[in-house]
Amino acid sequence: MAGASTSELSTDFVDGTSTLGRLILARDWADSPVGPPSRWSQGLKTTVGLVLRAQAQIVLFWGPEFVALYNDAYAPTIGDKHPRALGRPARENWSELWTDLEPLLEGVRRTRKTFSAKDRPFYIERHGYGETVYFDVSYSAVPEADGSVAGVLCIVSETTERVRALAALRESEARLRDLNETLEERILERTRELERANDALRQAQKMEAVGQLTGGIAHDFNNLLQGIAGSFDLIRRRSGDPERVLRWSEAGLKAAERGARLSSQLLAFSRVQKLEIKPLDLSKTLIGFGAILRSSIGPEIRIHMNVSAEDLWILCDRVQLEMAILNLALNARDAMPSGGDLSIAAIAQHIAGKPGMADGEYVELSVKDNGCGMPSPIAERAFEPFFTTKEVGRGTGLGLSQVYGTVVQSGGGVRIESIEGAGTTVLLYLRRAEPTTEQSIEREDPLPAPHQWGRF
């Protein structure tokens, strides 16, 4: 520039302490469209001086060819494009995104309006491969002294890592949602395999129980019918022998009575039979029933009666109570195949706070043996209908169920204590009554499940 002053040719605007400032001072600008820094316009010098001293990421695109001039903070964002991009037209080094970048720069220069955007994507090749990166950008027009727009100042902040992290988070959340939905569907489906399996198991258990019940009843009734039929056959053959006819008649009657007792058990279990609940003198009932009890369980079992001297009146169905005691005695006999002791005792008790029983006055009737006893899992199920430890055809599993039904429908409760190898005690709690009370109650209401009243 002929006649230019020394100050106009100065490069004092260049910050020599920055890396880009030293590059600018050391570079041969003969190949650059903007020429050497000493001959730049004052507008360009002023703008570059500000850019070099700024801490923000800034690139200045100057002149009609958008020559790139930038600072230390911006250099890392263009990777291996630096330092060759310094002082060269942007088209040369941003060729892969020029169709995207040029319209933005031209728009700012033409309209003088600032363009800004958050997380603006750009496709760039800066590390030997192409990638999509993101920037917060603000592109502003830079005027020359004559008022014309000479360049575009781009203040940028790379947000690639944040955008990718958020995208990864959203993807993870989406996968988690999908996983949750899939998991819920799998849980629902498995809940439906499990419900179906449970239904099948319950049906199988029902069929097993029905088969066990049917087999036991058929066996018992078959034995009874054979006894009755045999007695009648003998009577028919020896009708002229009164002594034998009497003996065979008694045998047939006993078989018929056992059949009636089995039918009664079935009716009690099905809740069809109506109980006649009324005041009953338990002491007299036990004493009067003793002879029948002894003849039923055989001479190998020693029976011990221990009944309180005071009158023990209870509310119960007499016939069903006798059947309950007989069932317990027969079970005790089976638990003592080599003989043993059976103790029956009754005492008055006040009951309060026991599950399934109203507070009040009761009589505790205990039936105790010193037989083989039961393990805890067996004892806990002893009163369940159809449950029996006997082999098929040897029992229906209704005996203890009848005991339970009789006592609970009479307003009482049942408790069982058993030690394997040391014997079993069954405790019946029967509501106490006044001797003068006259009461008759018919009950057909369903019984609670055994676990609701069993142990306390």
How many whole angstroms separate alpha carbon 169 and alpha carbon 405?
64
What six digits make up the tokens of 370? Answer: 């010193």
Residue whose token pair is 């959203």: 170
**Which CATH number is 272-452's, of 3.40.50.300, 3.40.50.720, 3.30.565.10, 3.60.10.10?**
3.30.565.10
Give which of 392, 444, 393 is closest to 269, Cα–Cα: 444
CATH code 3.30.450.20 for 19-158:
yes
Q: How far is CA 274 from CA 264, 268, 328, 406, 443, in A?
A: 10, 8, 22, 10, 6
Any idea what DSSP says for residue 431? E
Ramachandran area for residue 352 (φ above 0: left; ψ -120 to 50: alpha; else beta)? beta
And the tokens for 106?
């031209």
Over the stretch 11-53, which tens digit does the pLDDT of each residue have?
A: 999 999 999 999 999 999 999 999 999 999 999 999 999 999 9
- Cα separations (Å) of 280 from 306, 314, 363? 18, 5, 12
Alpha carbons 34 and 313: distance in angstroms, whole number: 124
pLDDT digits (tens, 9 = 90+) for 48-87: 999 999 999 999 999 999 999 999 999 999 999 999 999 9
Sequence-distant (6+) residues with CB within 8 A of 184 are none
Pairing of strands 340-351, 301-307: parallel
Asked whether 122 and 101 are in contact (CB, 8 A), the reply is: yes
- Determine contact, residues 344/364, Cβ cutoff 8 Å: no
**CATH topology identical between 19-158 and 272-452:** no
What is the DSSP secondary-structure string of 51-62? HHH-SSEEEEEE
* HSE-CB of 43 using CA atoms within 13 angstroms: 17
Q: What is the DSSP-derived secondary structure letter of residue 390? A: S
* Phi-psi domain of 145 (left: phi exceeds 0; alpha: psi -120 through 50; beta: other): alpha
Q: Which residues contact 370 (CB under 8 A, 6 or more apart)?
A: 336, 340, 341, 422, 423
Identify the segments of the chain with pLDDT beneath 50.
Answer: 1-3, 6, 271-272, 392-394, 396, 437-456
| Residue boundaries of the structural domains of the chain | 19-158, 181-264, 272-452
Dihedral angle sign, alpha carbons of residues 95, 96, 102, 104:
negative
Give yes or no for a cis peptide into 89 (omega within 30° of 0). no
What pLDDT score does 256 carry?
74
One-character DSSP codes across 317-337: -HHHHHHHHHHHHHHHHHH-T
- Tokens 């369940």, residue? 384
- pLDDT at residue 231, as a whole number: 73
CB 43 within 8 A of CB 143: yes
Residue 240: the pLDDT is 78
Query: pLDDT value at position 110?
Result: 96
